[in-house]
Amino acid sequence: MKAILISITVLACITAWLYHGINNLVKPLPKPEFDTNVYWGPGSGLDYKAPEDIVPFKIKYDQTIIDDLRAQLNRTWKYAAPLDGIKFQYGFNTDALKHIVIYWREFYLPKWSQRQAYLNSLPHFKTEIQGLKIHYIHAKPSEEARKQKKVVPLLLLHGWPASVRELYDFINLLVAVSDIHDHVYEVIAPSLVGYGWSDPATKPGFNAAQMAIVMRNLMLRIGFDKFLVQGGDWGSITGSAISTLFPENVLGFHSNMCTMYTPLALAKLFIASWAPERYLPSRFFYEHHFPLKAKFSSLFYEMGYFHLQATKPDTIGTALQTNPIGLAAYFLEKFQTVTGPGLNQQFNAMDKVYKLDPLLDNIMIYYLTDTATTSVRFYAENLSKEFLGLQLDRVQSPVPMGCARFKHDLTAALDWALKDKFPNLVHSTYYNQGGHFAAFELPGMLYINFQEFVKKVNLE
C-alpha cells in the first residue's frame, strides 16, 4: 500500500511539474513596457531635443552618379556559367542576369529621369524621430474624394528586400474613390529605419519593437493618434508589434504575412496536419499549410540568406553595397523564388509577375541610398537574445486583426493559432495565387481584401 501511495505521489508531482512547465510555455505573457524616447542617432544624445518640423523631400540624384553606375555595369564582369540543365536551382541564373544587366544599362538608365519623376509622383517628406531622420510618403485623397467617402489614416509598412517602391500601385488605389467601398485612406508609407531614405540606427538593439515605437511616434508627429496598420514581411512583424505595444492607437491591423512560430502555434499546426478539414475553411486551401514535411523542407532550403543576415549582416552588406551586379543578383533571386513553383524556374517569370522597371526602381533605391548593409542588420537585431526573449507573439493584442494568405508566401498561421495572439481576428482569407510581395504583384487583390477587412472593423 505504501509503495502505491509513493507511486501515486510521484506521478502527481511529475504531472504537476509537466502541467506547470507546459502552462508556462503556452500561456499569454504580459505586455512589456518600453521607453518610447530612446535616442538612436549619432553620439550620446544627452542634450538632444527633437526638432518637430516636417519638410518636403524630393528624390534627386546628380547625373554623374548615374553615369558612374552605368560605367560599372559596362565593365567586363566575370560570370560563372550555369551548370548544364540548371535554371534557378542554384540561385539566380547568370545567363538571365546578363540580360537584365544589359537592360539596366542600355534601356533603364537612359530613362532614369523618367523613373525618378515617377518615384516623385507621390509626395515625400522627412521628419526627425528619436535622433533619426525618417522618410515617408504622405498620400492624401482628393478633396472630391473626401466629400464622398470617410477618410481613415493608414500606416503602410514595407519589408525586405522591398522598399516603399513596392507600395506605389497599392497606395494609388487606397487614396482613390471606389464605388463599392465606403472608405478612402490618408496613407503614411515610411521607409523603415535603415532602409531607403530613412537614417539607420547608430547603436545595436534596434529590433522590431524599437521600429514599432519609431513608427508610432511618426504617426503621432504627423497628427494621428488613431490609425490602421497594414504590412507584409517586416512590415507585418512591425505592425504586429505596434498593435501589441500600442493597441490604444491602432484601429485595426491587416497583414499579408500572418506567421506565428510560438511553441503553441507549432503544436497546433502539427495537430491540424492530421485532420486539416477540421481547421481550414476548405481542403482547397490545404497546400497553404501542409504537408508539413514539404513546407518545412522548403523553408529550410530557402533560409540560407536569413541565417547569413541574422549572424553576419555587415559582411554580406558590404559585398552587396560595393557591387551593383551582385546586389541585383542577390535581390532578384528573392523575387524570382516567390513567383511560385509554376514560374520560378522560368527566365521571364519576374517580368510576368512584377515587370523589370519596378524591380530595378527598387534595386536603385538600395544602391543610391547605400542601405544594403543597414537594412539587413534588422535581421540580426530581431534574432538577438534580447528581442527573442520578449516573445511578443505570446502577448495578446485586442486590436481587430485581418489576415490575407497568398499561396506562395511563407506558411501562415492557422486561425486556431492566430487567435492566441489576436483574439479579435475578424477577417481571414486564402488566395490560391500570389506570393510574398502582394502589394507589388497583386495590388488590386490586396486592396479588395483590405477594404473587406475595414468593413468588418466597424469604424463608424
CB 377 within 8 A of CB 314: yes
Asked which of 9-18, 37-46, 278-287, 441-450 is least confident by mean pLDDT, the reply is 9-18
The pLDDT of residue 428 is above 70: yes
Mean pLDDT of 29-40: 94
Cα separation, 54 vs 126, in Å, equals 6
Q: What is residue 14's predicted lDDT score, i.e. its pLDDT?
A: 53
pTM: 0.93
- Grid cell 491602432 is found at 250
53 is catalytic: no
Identified catalytic residue from 169, 305, 436, 447: 436
- Domain 54-457, CATH: 3.40.50.1820
Mean pLDDT of 40-55: 90
Mean pLDDT of 429-452: 95
Q: Return the closest-CA partner of residue 127 out of 118, 116, 138.
A: 138
Cα separation, 87 vs 97, in Å, equals 11
Identified catalytic residue from 124, 183, 185, 233: 233
The pLDDT of residue 386 is above 50: yes
Cα separation, 455 vs 295, in Å, equals 33
Residue 79: which residues within 8 A CB-CB, separation 6 or more? 94, 97, 98
Q: pLDDT by residue (tens digit) across 95-152? A: 999 999 999 999 999 999 999 999 999 999 999 999 999 999 999 998 888 888 899 9
* C-alpha torsion angle, residues 24, 27, 33, 36 (rounded to 10): 130
Distances (CA, A) of 169 to 20, 381, 439: 50, 30, 7
Q: Is 258 left (phi over 0), alpha (psi -120 to 50) or beta?
A: beta
| 3 state DSSP class of 319 | helix
- Domain range annotation of the chain: 54-457
379 is catalytic: yes
Q: pLDDT by residue (tens digit) across 329-368? A: 999 999 999 988 878 899 898 888 999 999 999 999 999 9
Q: What is residue 25's predicted lDDT score, i.e. its pLDDT?
A: 61
Q: Strands 124-129 and 54-57: what pairing? A: antiparallel
182 is catalytic: no
Q: pLDDT by residue (tens digit) across 245-271? A: 999 999 999 999 999 999 999 999 999
Distances (CA, A) of 393 to 136, 287, 288, 450: 27, 24, 21, 22
Q: What is residue 301's predicted lDDT score, i.e. its pLDDT?
A: 85
Identified catalytic residue from 379, 430, 431, 447: 379
Q: What residue type is assigned to position 33 of the chain?
A: E
